[in-house]
């Protein structure tokens, strides 16, 4: 059974002064997930509007101490908890266990320079995030060479959610989709578009078309 296409607008590119309304707008335009780049603790659930309280919050932690964030993010309503393997090499399987205990889906992220072998083997996570730019800020150019990791992961784990983040948009989505990515994070290409709903639709169609042709 093919993995499902999931489009996750990156809230890093949204208007932070109107975060709740931006989240509602993305969901209305057809987003499956809301991608949150976490560099500090999330607000508590009562600060979230009712319309996106039930949304899937795809949290990508760019922190050096992800263990400290498990409890707070669970309380804040996070759905997915993706941490960087580079900062958790010695304890990441224990971290995955704690994430699951708190009811969140565990994921692991790889920076462009991190080899895919870091997460191969007996893999306890439910998603691997392949960074297609260097993490930390938006607007960077997509790095096609990172698609080798996506292809390797898809070949080994046919049913795994594989996410890509960085420089994704209508001009680059086909490369990611054909490599096997099914979870697509898109920031400026969605939030900067005149018709964000159309961009979300294009991204989803590319993933589905690639799956049908594979």
Query: Which structural domains are found in the chain, ordered by start?
Result: 6-213 (3.20.20.70)
Of residues 32, 58, 161, 165, which has the active-site annotation? 165
Which of 35-44, 55-64, 69-78, 115-124 shows the lowest mean pLDDT across its residues? 35-44
Which among 62, 4, 10 is positioned nearest to 33, based on CA atoms?
Answer: 10
Q: For the chain, where are the alpha helices, taking DSSP H only?
A: 19-28, 70-75, 92-101, 147-156, 173-179, 188-191, 196-213
What pLDDT is recorded for position 52? 52
The answer to whether residue 32 is catalytic is no
Of residues 32, 37, 58, 161, which has the active-site annotation? 37
Cα gap 174→51, rounded to integer Å: 32
What pLDDT is recorded for position 130? 98
The answer to whether residue 37 is catalytic is yes
Instruction: Using the predicted structure, report yes or no on whether residue 53 has a pLDDT greater than 50.
Output: yes
Quick one: tokens of 15? 């208007």
3-state helix, strand, coil in the chain (%, to 5): 45, 20, 40
What pLDDT is recorded for position 40? 72
């Amino acid at each position: 059974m093919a993995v499902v296409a999931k489009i996750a607008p990156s809230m890093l590119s949204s208007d932070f002064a109107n975060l709740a309304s931006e989240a509602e707008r993305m969901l209305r335009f057809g987003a499956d997930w809301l991608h949150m780049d976490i560099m500090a603790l999330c607000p508590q659930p009562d600060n979230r509007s009712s319309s996106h309280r039930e949304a899937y919050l795809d949290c990508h932690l760019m922190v050096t101490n992800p263990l400290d964030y498990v409890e707070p993010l669970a309380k804040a309503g996070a759905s997915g908890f993706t941490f960087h393997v580079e900062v958790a090499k010695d304890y990441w399987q224990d971290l995955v266990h704690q994430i699951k205990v708190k009811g969140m889906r565990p994921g692991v992220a790889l920076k462009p320079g991190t080899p895919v072998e870091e997460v191969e083997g007996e893999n306890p996570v439910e998603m691997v995030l392949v960074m297609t730019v260097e993490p930390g800020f938006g607007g960077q150019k997509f790095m096609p060479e990172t698609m080798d990791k996506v292809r390797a992961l898809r070949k080994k784990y046919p049913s795994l959610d594989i996410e890509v983040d960085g420089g994704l948009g209508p001009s680059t989505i086909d490369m990611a989709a054909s490599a096997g990515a099914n979870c697509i994070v898109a920031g400026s290409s969605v939030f900067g578009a005149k018709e964000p709903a159309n961009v979300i639709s294009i991204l989803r169609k590319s993933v589905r078309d690639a799956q049908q042709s594979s």
